[in-house]
Amino acid sequence: MLQSPVLNSSLATHPEIQILLCCATTQIESETASRLKALVQENIDWVKLTQLAQQHRVMPLLYSNLNAICPQAVPKDILNQLLVNFRANTRRSLLLSAELVRLLNLFEAQKISALPFKGPVLAASAYGNLSLRQFSDLDILVRPQDIEKAKALFLSEGYRMKIERIEVTQEQEAAFVRSQSIHQFVREAAYPFIHHKKGVTAELHWGIMPQYFCFPIDSLAWEQSEFVSIASNKVPNLSPENTLMMLVGHGTKDCWTQLARICDIAELIRSHPQLNWTKLIEQARIKGGQRILFLGLMLARNLLGVSLPEEVWQKIQAEQEVELLARQVSERLFSPSNASFQDGSVTRFHLGTRERLMDKVRYFIKVLITPTTSDWLLLPLAQFPAFLYYLLRPIRLVREQVSKVLN
């Protein structure tokens, strides 16, 4: 049975936000359905509602539930717009799912261990329907020793490496692709690949979480995996417990700026009633991520009414810092400035989600000294020892800050 969502005053006064929260689920209970029917009778800004749904990547859920429960109350042009979007999302999901199966078969033929996460496998395992989750790319995890083989496979299949956030010359891009050590300077622990003809983006990961985030759950992923069915194919997937760890980690990394992140957690919990909560909480504690886990769970309960075991909820309530963080997220989630976190506020938020001093220190040091592709560009075409870039990064950051002050 669902818990009643706990909305702060700023959320409760906007019927569009309340409608979005009611619809952000695959299973609406009778009480929520009645509430939704009452809400749509108010003076709704339907354009604002659809914009919010698009921003928070829950368009398929909004359409599915409005169409099933109260289609007559929705303006025809809005309902048709939602239907067009829903069908486009379904086609996109099927395309990405087929490409994932094809790529995994190629990885297997090359004897490369590969483990997909998020994307189609999460839609299938948590939502039970590829059409109901909005995703735009593929995420595939490989072991660090297989990075170069996997990279070569993507390139041979017509994919092109995408260098994000920086402008590079053709010569620099070629050097980036050739390099067998550039992965040390990719902070997100992933190479983005794009297939322009197919319109598919796939991220090749060698870490589930970015290097700087200090939430090491990769070993758990490989030790405990299972299979999920996609288009009659058995596809490897993280265990439900490790999927939850991955979701709260990525949600926290991104400062919980999208409702879809919280939906993923709620749907995973609803679809897996036999979650091993004792094991999950203990693993989170060992990895220094208990506060991260508790924050994601509190958001799912407070905003989407997901039911948690009483003993789990009591542990969460005992953490006052978690409640403060959840309130901060809830207040920002639908605010106009939600997507404009500055670097300083991101760092402060990340530090606040860590319960152990050593993890705070480790995170701060890694953010400060871990090289990026921007650091690599300082000496891009020569083979210098990796440690040199760790020395160059603080110098570059200081130089940039001085330049900002002077300008």
- Three-state secondary structure call for residue 113: coil
pLDDT at 181: 66
**pLDDT score recorded for residue 394:** 75
Positive/negative CA dihedral, 116, 122, 126, 132: negative
pLDDT of 140 reads 97
At 43, is the pLDDT very low, low, confident or very high (cuts 50, 70, 90)? very high
Distances (CA, A) of 335 to 15, 55, 109: 14, 12, 48
How large is the average pLDDT for residues 47-59?
97
Evaluate if residue 1 carries a pLDDT over 60: no
Domain membership of residue 1 (yes or no) is no
Q: What is the mean pLDDT of residues 173-179?
A: 70
> What whole-number percentage of the chain has pLDDT above 90?
70
Q: Is residue 255 part of a domain?
A: yes
Rounded Cα distance between 39 and 392, Å, is 56
Choose between 58 and 175: higher pLDDT. Answer: 58
Residue 233 lies in a domain: yes
**Positive or negative: CA dihedral 343, 373, 244, 293:** negative
**Cα gap 154→150, rounded to integer Å:** 6
Radius of gyration of the chain (CA): 22
Question: Other C-beta atoms within 10 Å of 99: how many?
Answer: 18
* pLDDT for res 342: 61
Residue 3 lies in a domain: no
Tell whether 236 is covered by a domain. Answer: yes
Q: What is the mean pLDDT of the chain?
A: 89
Neighbours of 374 (CB within 10 A): 15
Number of H helices, E strands in the chain: 20, 7
The DSSP secondary structure of 328-339, one letter per residue, reads HHHHHHTSTTTT
CA distance 9 to 18: 11
Q: Any idea which residue has 């909005």 for tokens?
A: 134
pLDDT in tens, 329-358: 999 999 876 555 665 789 999 999 999 999
Q: What is the pLDDT of residues 282-321, one digit of tens each?
A: 999 999 999 999 999 999 999 999 999 999 999 999 999 9
Amino acid at 208: I
Residue 382 lies in a domain: no
CATH assignment of the domain containing 353: 3.30.460.40
The C-alpha atoms of residue 191 and residue 284 are separated, in whole angstroms, by 27
Q: What is the pLDDT of residues 121-142, one digit of tens each?
A: 999 999 999 999 999 999 999 9
Q: Mean pLDDT, to the nearest integer, of 92-116?
A: 97
Residue 353 inside a domain? The answer is: yes
Confidence label for 402 from pLDDT (cuts 50, 70 and 90): confident
**More confident of the two residues 139 and 217:** 139
Tell me which H or E stretch contains 320: helix 320-333
Domain that residue 178 falls in: 9-377+387-406
Task: Tell me if 175 is assigned to some domain.
Answer: yes
Task: Report the alpha-carbon distance of residue 390 to residue 372 in Å, rounded.
Answer: 9
Task: Count structural domains, the chain.
Answer: 1
Range from 114-128, 217-231, 368-382 carrying the lowest mean pLDDT: 368-382
Task: Give the residue among 121, 122, 104 at the shortest CA–CA distance from 113.
Answer: 104
- The pLDDT value recorded for residue 221 is 85
- Cα angle vertex 63, ends 57, 69, to 5°? 135
Residue 75 has pLDDT above 70, yes or no: yes
Burial 3-33 (b: 16+ CB within 10 A, else e): eebebeeebeebbbbbbbbbbbbbebeeebe
Q: What is the pLDDT of residue 374?
A: 72
Q: Report the distance separating Cα 159 and Cα 177, nearest Å.
A: 12
**Closest C-alpha among 245, 240, 298 to residue 269:** 240
pLDDT at 105: 97
Q: What is the pTM of this model?
A: 0.90
Q: What is the pLDDT of residues 146-171, one digit of tens each?
A: 999 999 999 999 999 887 656 666 66
